[in-house]
Amino acid sequence: MAKKGLGRGLEAILGDTQALRSGDEGQGPSVAMIPIAELSADPDQPRKRFDDTELSSLSDSIKRQGILQPILVQPKRNGAYIIIAGERRWRAAQRAGIHEVPVLIREGTADSAAELALIENIQRVDLNPIEEADAYARMRDAFGRKPQEIADAVGKSRSHVANMMRLTSLPDSVRSMVTDGRLSMGHARALLSAKEPEKLAARVVKKDLSVRETERLAAGRDASATAEKESAPTAGKKPRASSGSKDADTKALERDLEAALGLTVAIDHQGKAGGEIRIDYETLDQLDDICSRLMRTYI
Which of the four pLDDT bands, split at 50, 70 and 90, describes residue 173?
A: very high
Contact 268, 240 (CB under 8 A): yes
At 204, is the secondary structure helix, strand, or coil? helix
Q: What's the CATH architecture for 8-128?
A: Alpha-Beta Complex (3.90)
pLDDT above 80: residue 53: yes
Which distant-in-sequence residues (6+ apart) come within 8 Å of 81 by Cβ?
34, 38, 39, 40, 73, 74, 75, 103, 105
pLDDT score recorded for residue 260: 74
Distance CA 244, CA 223 (A): 12
- Distance from chain centroid for Cα 216: 26
* Distance (Å) of CA 163 to CA 8, 28, 132, 135, 172: 21, 36, 11, 13, 18
pLDDT above 60: residue 242: no
Amino acid (1-letter code) at residue 59: S
Cross-strand bridge partners of residue 39: 81
pLDDT above 60: residue 37: yes
Q: Which of 39-53, 93-107, 113-127 has the lowest mean pLDDT?
A: 113-127
185-203 pLDDT, tens per residue?
Answer: 889 989 998 999 999 999 9
CA terminus-to-terminus distance, the chain:
8
Q: Which of 107-111, 250-254, 272-276, 286-290 has the lowest mean pLDDT?
A: 107-111
**Looking at per-residue confidence, does 252 or 113 come out higher?**
252
pLDDT above 70: residue 87: yes
| 198 catalytic per annotation | no
141-170 pLDDT, tens per residue?
Answer: 888 888 888 888 888 888 888 888 999 999
Contact 115, 126 (CB under 8 A): no
Q: Which listed residue (25, 38, 54, 87) is catalytic?
A: 87
CATH 3.90.1530.30 domain position(s) in the chain: 8-128
